[in-house]
Chain A
Amino acid sequence: MSKDVKGAGRASNAKIMNRADLTKRLVGKLHKDEAVVGGIGNTNFDLWAAGQRPQNFYMLGSMGLAFPIALGVAIAQPKRHVFALEGDGSLLMQLGCLSTIAAVAPPNLTMVVMDNGVYQITGGQPTPAAGRTDFVAAAQALGLSNSHWAADEEDFERLVGAALTAGKPTLIAARIDAQPAVATTHRDPVQIRERFMRGLGAR
C-alpha cells in the first residue's frame, strides 16, 4: 500500500510519479503555442517552474475552475490545443464540469488530473475520494470516453502526444506523490492575464 494513496482503487497499477516532472514532460511536448491552464496551488506552481510560457495561465483562487477556464479558451480558439492541469481535490469540487465538457466535446481540450489523494497545499489531508474514487472511471461514466490513467512517465508522454490529434477531448489521470510544488508563481493577476492574452494573440 502506498503511503500517498491508500488502496488507490482501480488505479492501483499506475506508477506513482511526480507533478513537477510530469509537467516538464508535458511542456516539452508542446511546439505549437498550445495554451496551458494551471489550477489553484501546486498545479500552476509547477507549470510556472516548467518555464514561463506566455501561453500559460496561472490561477490564484477559484478552486476547481482550471478545466472550465480551459474549456472557454478551447471554444474561443478551436485551432489551438488547450491543456489544463488540475489537482484531484480541485476536480472533486467541480466534478460536474466533466459532463459539460463531454456535452460540448471540444476536440482541442486535454485535461490532466494530478491525483495525490490529498489536499497537499493545505496540509496533506486525504480527500474523501482517496483510495476509493477512480477518476478515469468517473470521467468515462460522465461521458468522457477518451480518459486514461498514465501507467508511467513514458505512457504519460504518449498520451499527451495522442491527445494532440485525438479529435475529441482527452482526460489523463496521473497518480503522483505528495511532494509540494518546486516553485511559486509570481502572483500578479493582471500581469498573468495580460501576458496570457498576448500569448494567445487576443491582444
Chain B
Amino acid sequence: MPAAQTAGTSPASWDEIIARTFKANAVKLTTYVPDKVLTPLIKRLHADDYFTCFPTTREEEAVGIVSGAWMAGMLGAVLMQTSGFATLPNTLASLAVPYQIPLIMVVSERGTLGEFNSGQAMVCRTMRPVLDSLAMEHHTISRHDELEFIVDRSIKQAVATQAAVALILSPLLTGGKVFKA
C-alpha cells in the first residue's frame, strides 16, 4: 500500500516487511551468521517473541538446524551474506536438494553496486552459478514494492514444492554497505 494511503504511519521498512511475511507464513525459526546490512532484521527477529532466533557458528550449521526443524514440523529460514552462501554448496547438494527440504535462505548481497572489498566482489560472482547449477529457485529483490510479494510467494512455493529458495537482497533494496574513505 502506498505510504499516502496509510495516514499517520510511515511506510514499512524492508526488515519489517520480511518479519511480518515470515510470520504470515509460519516461519518461526530464524538462524543466522550476521551481516552488517541484515542488522535491523536480526534485531527485529530477536525482539519478537514469535520467533526463535539465534546465531550459529557456520552457515552450514544453520542449514542443518532449520532442515531438522522442518522435518519435525517447524518452518525456518537462514540469514547470511554472500560469503556465507559460498560455504554452502556441499550442504545444499547433499542435504537440502536430495531430501527435498524447503530451505528458505535470505542472502544479503555483498560484492556489487559499490563494493569496496575485492574478496567480496569475487565471492559474489560464484553465487548465482552455484544456485543455477543446483536448479535452485532464486530471486534478487531490488524494489521495495515487490518485496512482500516475492518473499510471500517464494515461501509458499518452497513449502508446496519442497524445494529450496534463495532470496537475494540487493543493495538497491537495503542500501547495502557504503564505502567510507
* A residues adjacent to B (C-beta < 8 A): 35, 37, 57, 59-65, 67-77, 80, 94, 96-97, 99-100, 103-104, 189-190, 192-193, 196-197, 200-202
Contact = CB atoms under 8 A, between A and B. Distances in A.
B67 to A, nearest CB: 6
Given A76-B29, A193-B100, A94 B60 contact: yes
Given A72-B76, A94-B58, 19 more contacts: A61-B94, A62-B91, A65-B61, A65-B95, A68-B62, A68-B64, A71-B68, A72-B71, A75-B29, A75-B52, A76-B29, A76-B68, A96-B56, A104-B54, A190-B98, A193-B99, A193-B100, A197-B72, A202-B73
A77 B61 CA distance: 19
Given A100-B56, A190-B100, A193-B99, A200 B61 contact: no
Contact of A72 (B65, B90, B93, B99): B65
Nearest to A80: B72
B168 to A, nearest CB: 23
Interface string B63-86: 111111111111010000000000
A67 B61 CA distance: 9
5 contacts: A68-B61, A75-B29, A76-B70, A94-B57, A96-B58
B94 A100 contact: no
Given A190-B100, A200-B73, A202-B72, A62 B52 contact: no
B42 interface: no
Nearest to A69: B68
Residue from A67, A77, A100 with most neighbouring chain B CB atoms (10 Å) = A100
A149 B58 CA distance: 27
Contacts of B98: 60-61, 189-190
A94 B64 CA distance: 11
A29 B63 CA distance: 30
Contacts of A100: 54-57, 61, 65
Interface of B: 29, 52, 54-58, 60-74, 76, 90-91, 93-95, 98-101
A193 B67 CA distance: 10
A61 B95 contact: yes
- Chain A interface helix/strand/loop/mixed: helix
A97 B68 contact: no
Contacts of A67: 64
Nearest to A188: B98
B57 A62 contact: no
B99 A190 contact: yes
A62 B73 contact: no
A59 B71 CA distance: 13
Contact of B60 (A62, A72, A201): A62
Contacts of B99: 189-190, 192-193
Contacts of B73: 76-77, 200-202
A96 B61 contact: yes
Contact of A97 (B52, B57, B74, B90): B57
Given A75-B52, A100-B54, A62 B71 contact: no
Contacts of A104: 54
